[in-house]
Amino acid sequence: MTYTTENPLRVVTLCSGYDSQCLALERLKREFPPFDHELVAWAEYDPLSKTPTPYQPAQKAHNALFPQWADRNLGDITQVDWESVPKCDLLFYSTPCQSISQAGLQHGFAEGSGTRSSIIWNVRDAVKALHPKYLCMENVAAIVSAKFVDMFNLWQNALAALGYVQFPTMLNALNYGVPQNRERMFLVSIRDDEQEYPQFNAPKQMPLKKTLRDVLEQNVAEKYYLSNKMLDYFNRVDADKTHGQS
């Protein structure tokens, strides 16, 4: 299948944020014409925000980058009638990582647990209704840690039951031109009737030619610096060793 302006790749993104997925597709469009895509629906909503929905930061960022698709936000994915959503070829879902990440409380993402990360199970409803050719998940590396790998396997089994072949792949940003040691787990799923033997190969690694110095701004506004009051506080905390730091 060739995706062009006349026949664009139809995409849905869930827990979209500002939609780095679409930024990647925009780059693909620039570098490999005549490829084209259309974001037929996206979903971004912060249930903990006290800001009205259209003014939540991630939604404002998304609409600034992609104003042509501002009216296609589905909002809370736990409340969507998926049968009314346009069909798509590719579904991206980068569900919250707070309950999985080592930086969080690691309450997990078991179905029905009510954690922020457990809304991954609502994605199953989207897959059932939309039945895309391709799925792509991105999450923190801890999702395949000893603590959570069984849950991750349950999720893969759920997708397999819906007719998808799984390709879990760990990628690190530093192997793709970014001067940051940032591991992320990607799960690419291909509908098993799309190819006789579905295959997926991770992108080839490239030499790292940049350093942190290359991406840091030379002139930074004063408002982004810590105040003397905050610096004094951190120095006191570091000195008294009562916060568990080494």
Catalytic residue IDs? 97
Burial class of 140 by CB neighbour count within 10 A (0 to 12, 13 to 18, 19+): buried
d(CA 246, CA 241) in angstroms, rounded, equals: 7
Judge contact between 139 and 100, C-beta under 8 A. Answer: yes
For residues 150-185, one letter each, b for 16 or more C-beta atoms within 10 angstroms of the residue's C-beta and e for the rest, the string is ebbeebbebbeeeebbbbbeebeeebeeebeeeebb
> Closest Cα partner for 90 from 227, 194, 211, 244?
194
